[in-house]
């Protein structure tokens, strides 16, 4: 028997899974972002993180922080999306229609920060014991993310599903 009250409301489905909330204002029927644009945006953001990572003493921490909060910063030149996404005219949106924020960005991007965290830990001998397995986990999650973007009908990767977001085309 199907529970009609939970269908599409963000409640539990008959199988006990949490359903995504219905699209709210702001998500509309915007088309999903083209794969090529998403990969170019990711490459731009990676270059930014690598360059920032070379800043003595704080670079690794700053690069890791950028990966975490890049889609939620309310700065005019970023407009609540990463610099790469801004340049290729795509944007992550919350399915509930609320504006992107730092917390949602962190939910979307925590897996990308694992690599930076493993590098920071590798500075010490004890950290090296943790850093190597963490880097391997980050690599596997990265592969899963790429596969999900390719096979999910809405192009939603694991981070999008956790944060209840999707990436769409924009005019600006």
Task: Give the pLDDT confidence score for residue 122 in this predicted structure.
Answer: 63
Q: Kindly give, in sequence order, each residue whose CB lies less than 8 Å from that of residue 172, ignoring residues fewer than 6 positions away.
A: 89
Task: Give the pLDDT confidence score for residue 22 in this predicted structure.
Answer: 43
Distance CA 98, CA 27 (A): 9
Task: Give the pLDDT confidence score for residue 20 in this predicted structure.
Answer: 45
Task: Give the pLDDT confidence score for residue 6 in this predicted structure.
Answer: 41
CA distance to 47, 131, 148, per residue, from 128 (Å):
25, 5, 30
Task: Give the pLDDT confidence score for residue 115 in this predicted structure.
Answer: 72
Q: The tokens of 99 are what?
A: 């504006």
Rounded to two decimals, the pTM is 0.75
Task: Give the pLDDT confidence score for residue 29 in this predicted structure.
Answer: 76
Task: Give the pLDDT confidence score for residue 103 in this predicted structure.
Answer: 97
Residue 26's nearest CA partner among 109, 105, 91, 106 is 91
Task: Give the pLDDT confidence score for residue 11 in this predicted structure.
Answer: 46
Task: Give the pLDDT confidence score for residue 133 in this predicted structure.
Answer: 81
Contact between residue 125 and residue 51 where contact means Cβ atoms under 8 Å apart: no
Task: Give the pLDDT confidence score for residue 42 in this predicted structure.
Answer: 94
Task: Give the pLDDT confidence score for residue 149 in this predicted structure.
Answer: 93
Residues of the chain with pLDDT under 70: 1-28, 118-128
User: What tens digit of pLDDT does each residue of 43-79 get?
Assistant: 999 999 999 989 988 988 899 999 999 999 999 999 9
């Amino acid at each position: 028997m199907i529970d009609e009250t939970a269908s599409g409301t963000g409640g539990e489905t008959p199988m006990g899974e949490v359903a995504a909330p219905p699209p709210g204002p702001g998500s509309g029927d915007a088309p999903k972002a083209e794969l090529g644009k998403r990969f170019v945006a990711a490459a731009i953001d990676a270059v930014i993180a690598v360059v920032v990572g070379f800043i003595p003493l704080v670079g690794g921490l700053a690069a890791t922080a950028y990966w975490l909060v890049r889609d939620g910063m309310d700065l005019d030149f970023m407009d609540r999306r990463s610099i790469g996404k801004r340049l290729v005219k795509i944007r992550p949106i919350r399915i509930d229609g609320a504006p992107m924020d730092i917390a949602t960005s962190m939910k979307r991007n925590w897996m990308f920060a694992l690599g930076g965290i493993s590098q920071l830990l590798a500075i010490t001998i004890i950290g090296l014991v943790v850093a190597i397995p963490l880097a391997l986990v980050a690599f596997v999650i990265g592969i899963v993310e790429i596969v999900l973007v390719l096979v999910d009908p809405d192009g939603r990767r694991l981070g999008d599903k956790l944060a209840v977001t999707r990436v769409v085309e924009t005019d600006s």
